Amino acid sequence: MASNGAAPQQAGEGNMPLFYKDPMPLDAKKHSELSLKENYGFSYTEGVNAVPINLIEMPQVCHFYPIAFSPDGRATPVAILGLRDGENLFLGEDKKSWAANTYIPAYIRRYPFIFSELQDSDQLTLCVDQNEDIIDPSGSGQRFFDAESKPTELANNALEFCKSYHAAAQQTLAFSAAIAESGILIDREAQLNISGNKRIKFSGFQIIDEKKLSEIDDKTFLEWRSKGYLPFIYAHLFSGAQWQHLSQMLNAQIEAGTATI
């Protein structure tokens, strides 16, 4: 999403997920020397103004980012990181740090790892994106395999994180489908004032309409309550207060000279 009618960026190159360019399955024989560079930071989020989020993290996300839904019929929940194209207000100038005391969405923390589903199989394989800014082929960083070709603590932690993320993502798909089918989503744009008496129009996203939500039938409401969806719907509604927070962040960066009007 961005200024003057821009929308959230959610796709990577080709059919790749956002951030990922060339994920490869980790293999003990092929990648015995492969390692993760130390303190690589968050440079891969530069220029990205929205990231997908999972259902279970929405109550945390709503305290720091506006939550919107993709307008593509899938109703993917996303955290808004910036108000203009190519703008991530939470990324530090050094490209390594994130805004202090701010929750970092799991999608960002998962990178450069990701699960890949093998062809003709339900098996999920742990992959790592071949990003030369993050991956070190010389083995001088945090290795994925030890001298005995066994996964290191880093690789095991990445596997467990991806397992948890995958499970949460499946739960989110069901939630998104229910929301999309209910008819309570509406197209919306945010108009915010920034320094220099300029106005930013941010569009290309959907939100839950409170009036339509109040009019859903009892059967649907009770079904959502039984599935535990209601707290996450309310988290989305509460997150609307964070649009003003993003505006304040942008104004502060403009005044500090780290962002331009």
pLDDT tens digits, residue range 46-99? 999 999 999 999 999 999 999 999 999 999 999 999 998 899 999 999 999 999
The percentage of the chain sitting over the pLDDT mark of 90, rounded to a whole number, equals 75
pLDDT at 4 over 50: no
pLDDT at 135 over 50: yes
Q: CA of 239: how far to CAs of 66, 117, 153, 234, in Å?
A: 5, 33, 36, 9
User: Encoding tokens for residue 51?
Assistant: 């990231």
**What is the pTM (predicted TM-score) of this model?**
0.90
Alpha-helical runs (H) found in the chain? 58-61, 106-110, 153-182, 210-214, 218-227, 230-238, 242-256
Cis peptide preceding 112, ω within 30 of 0: yes
User: Which of 37-41, 176-180, 228-232, 235-239 shows the lowest mean pLDDT across its residues?
Assistant: 37-41
**By the 8 A CB rule, do 35 and 140 touch?**
yes
pLDDT tens digits, residue range 164-205? 999 999 999 999 999 999 999 999 988 887 777 788 888 899
